Amino acid sequence: MQAVLIIAHKDIDQVIELSKKLRPTFKVIIHFDKKTPVSEAQKQKLQQLGVDYFSKISVNWGSWSIGQVAVELMHRAMQDTEIDYVHLISGQDWPLKPVEEIKNFYEENNNIYLRYYKADVKKGRDNALNWQKFYYNYDKIDRHSLFGKVYNRLSTWVQSLLRVNKLKKLGIDLEIYTGANWCDLPRDAVEYCLDYFDNHENFRKMLKTGSFSDEFWVQTIICNTPQFKSRLQYDYHRFIKWEHIHNSFPAILDERDYEAIKKSNAMFGRKFESPYSDKLRQLLP
């Protein structure tokens, strides 16, 4: 059995429709941001669909909280011994191919589908490695706010001057990798990542005080483990448009993207949001 793990924070009705699309082909497990209200009627619909859902963590953009949600979802999935493959997606994702076709592609598939690269590269104004070398506090500070932006620039500037290296202090001797948090993993890779995370306190401390650590944890564990790295496939079969469209980056997809989607090999697309994506959803299988 395969499971789709969904990180959701808005548009609960759309998440319900997504769940309806995925069930009963996949087991569906959803985490709703603790700040997001889910009505009793919506809960009842999810229960009728046989969806496993919970709300445990208050999620803040840029903080480790997003990664912790992924950890919680994976732990929950591994409690079911019949699950042999998991797909981590957003509540704003949508399947781009027939659901049965998606399932068949990963059936008895031992590959790990994950975007990854060494963290010593530029990410915007920063070096991505600094997001783990330096200390951040985004569980308490809103990175989007004016104060958060000023705090971020000032803090990283000071830490750079002081040559702060959290990795050295924590004794992290891994090559640090980053990439997209959305991924498709066979059971043994999930179990290994969870076991490593649960049993390496210094690694957890690195992530909890880093920036965008949800994009580092799986990549760093897998890419430092030869038996898993040899099974990596860089193409993670996601259709994402890195443009500002409909007041969103990445873009909210609409019917103009249909032809490009048809030509792609993507299994899931993001972002989908009503009313912009309604016509595109109708065009898809």
- Fill in the amino acid letter for 132: Q
At residue 155 the predicted structure's pLDDT band, cuts being 50, 70 and 90, is confident
Q: Is residue 56 part of a domain?
A: no
* pLDDT exceeds 90 at position 144: no
In a domain, 199, yes or no: yes
Q: Which residues contact 271 (CB under 8 A, 6 or more apart)?
A: 90, 92, 93, 248, 250, 251, 252, 253, 277
Residue 65 lies in a domain: no
Q: Is residue 66 part of a domain?
A: no
Q: Which residue has the higher pLDDT, 184 or 120?
A: 184
pTM of the model: 0.95
Is 138 a domain residue? Answer: yes
Per-residue pLDDT at 249: 94
Q: Is 268 exposed, middle or buried (0-12, 13-18, 19+ CB in 10 A)?
A: buried
Residue 142 lies in a domain: yes
Q: Is residue 58 part of a domain?
A: no
Render pLDDT for 185-227 as a digit per residue (tens, 0 to 9): 999 999 999 999 999 999 999 999 999 999 999 999 999 999 9
The three-state secondary structure class of 6 is strand
Per the structure, the count of domains in the chain is 1
Does 128 fall in a domain? yes
Q: What are 220-231's pLDDT values in tens digits?
A: 999 999 999 999
Coil, helix or strand for 52? strand
Q: Yes or no: say if 270 and 90 are a contact pair by the CB < 8 Å rule.
A: yes
